[in-house]
Copies of this chain bind each other. A is one copy, B any other.
């Protein structure tokens, strides 16, 4: 697979290794996405399940107009991420047609048939918009490659913050196995071999270098960007990201927050990783869900004080949260991760 060449062709402004900003719903909006692309990465707007995509893309377009980035076929040099089960195709397609983002990232469709529909519709609406599909298992990777031939496969390991498969492997074993399985499939059945991008637990240069060693052509960072200047995030949430350490112990994968917030559309196979706080510990201790919801809603009134170990508000973050050490600009984060990964690999090669 010539992953890097394919990426450079599709996104001519990028520098490699490619650093991608995760499309975090409500948090990764135009300012963050544009800053990431300006730094030679690829920023995604977290479209999620929202219907105000036009607002965010309009803002991105305006920001980019100030100082344009050379993109392929004049696509908008940012991507958009969808949580497909909750997104409305008929609202989304006109927006994609209007703004022509460089990439559309699909995640958690209701079915493969739905994913096919989204892919075909997007390719019709904007032929130069590349199709990214996020998966968390080898079987899903193969099903996706067979059915939609995505340009990019985002392989998400179980260390990721926010939503993903409830049951899964970390990138250490998932990325190489997906890579081998997809190669074997394409060798056998023909078709396009997607670029593989790794996600989940990658915070800084060492994780990025590791992901490249595992066979990825680029890396997604999410949790780290919660501590970027451009993220749309409450201070209480961001402070928790800076405070939390030892994420394997202080974060957990759970359905609790979806339940408390009334987000009922995720299939049983998904949950989300976040920092453990009173909402979770009370739920585990058997607190009645209605009572827990009531407390959650009351906590919303506390503003920034609603986050923290003694707080109750949703604090999605990955196991690498302890490696997030300060708030930086997205530009500095992207450049540090990219250059740092190269330095790590060069340093190791010199030693071995």
Which residues of A are interface residues toward B (Cβ below 8 A)? 4, 16-17, 136-139, 157-159, 165, 167-177, 180-181, 200-204, 206-207, 209-215, 245-249, 252, 318-320, 322-323, 342, 344-346, 348-349, 351-352
Instruction: Evaluate contact between B352 and A16: CB separation under 8 angstroms.
Output: yes
Q: Considering residues A137, A168, A207, A213, which has the most beta carbons from chain B within 10 angstroms of its beta carbon?
A: A213
A172-B200, A318-B173, A323-B176 as given contacts; A158 in contact with B248, CB under 8 Å? yes
Q: Helix, strand, loop or mixed for chain A's interface?
A: helix
Instruction: Evaluate contact between B169 and A172: CB separation under 8 angstroms.
Output: no
Chain B residues closer than 8 Å to A209, beta-carbon distance:
210, 213-214
Chain B residues closer than 8 Å to A206, beta-carbon distance:
175-176, 213-215
Instruction: Evaluate contact between B136 and A248: CB separation under 8 angstroms.
Output: yes
Known: A167-B252, A170-B172. 4 other contacts (CB 8 A): A168-B248, A177-B320, A207-B214, A213-B348
Chain B residues closer than 8 Å to A215, beta-carbon distance:
206
9 nearest A-B residue pairs (beta carbon): A170-B170, A169-B248, A173-B320, A169-B319, A172-B201, A210-B210, A209-B213, A138-B246, A168-B248
Instruction: Evaluate contact between A173 and B247: CB separation under 8 angstroms.
Output: yes
Chain B residues closer than 8 Å to A169, beta-carbon distance:
159, 170, 201, 247-248, 319-320
Chain B residues closer than 8 Å to A16, beta-carbon distance:
352
| A181–B252 alpha-carbon span in the complex (Å) | 21
Instruction: Evaluate contact between B348 and A345: CB separation under 8 angstroms.
Output: yes
Instruction: Evaluate contact between A248 and B180: CB separation under 8 angstroms.
Output: no
A177-B322, A210-B213 as given contacts; A349 in contact with B349, CB under 8 Å? yes
| A200–B170 alpha-carbon span in the complex (Å) | 10
Select one of B137, B139, B249, B320 contacting A172, CB under 8 A.
B320
| A165–B248 alpha-carbon span in the complex (Å) | 10
Instruction: Evaluate contact between B248 and A207: CB separation under 8 angstroms.
Output: no
Chain B residues closer than 8 Å to A212, beta-carbon distance:
213, 348, 352
Instruction: Evaluate contact between A213 and B349: CB separation under 8 angstroms.
Output: no
Instruction: Evaluate contact between A173 and B158: CB separation under 8 angstroms.
Output: no
Chain B residues closer than 8 Å to A170, beta-carbon distance:
157-159, 169-172, 200-201, 319
Chain B residues closer than 8 Å to A136, beta-carbon distance:
248
Instruction: Evaluate contact between B345 and A137: CB separation under 8 angstroms.
Output: no
Chain B, Cβ-Cβ closest to A136:
B248
Min CB–CB distance A225 → chain B (angstroms): 15
Select one of B137, B320, B322, B323 contacting A248, CB under 8 A.
B137
Instruction: Evaluate contact between B248 and A351: CB separation under 8 angstroms.
Output: no
Min CB–CB distance A217 → chain B (angstroms): 10
Q: Considering residues A159, A170, A176, which has the most beta carbons from chain B within 10 angstroms of its beta carbon?
A: A170
Chain B residues closer than 8 Å to A252, beta-carbon distance:
167
Min CB–CB distance A326 → chain B (angstroms): 14
